Amino acid sequence: MSLYYHKRITIVPRLLHLNIGTHGWSLSLGTRRAHITRGSGGHGRASVRLPGGFSWHRNFRRR
């Protein structure tokens, strides 16, 4: 059985959040429609949600 913990801390309402979990932390910058997330392991993701159920995302890694 695995344990899971997740806590979301709002730094700037509706714009910047700190997410803390059992495997590390991440920062999310942006709104629900478009945001960028960067994790403690160097992983990141940019996401955009478009009207009509379409979305776009791109994963990237620090070099």
Q: What is the pLDDT of residues 11-42, one digit of tens each?
A: 999 999 999 999 899 999 999 899 999 999 88
pLDDT of 28 reads 95
With tokens 């059985």, the residue in question is 1
Domain ranges of the chain: 6-61
Which residues are registered as beta bridge partners of 63? Answer: none
Please indicate, yes or no, whether the overall pTM of this predicted structure exceeds 0.75. Answer: no
Determine the Cα–Cα distance for residues 1 and 38; give it in Å rounded to an integer.
28
| ∠ Cα 46 47 52 (to 5°) | 160
CB 26 within 8 A of CB 37: yes
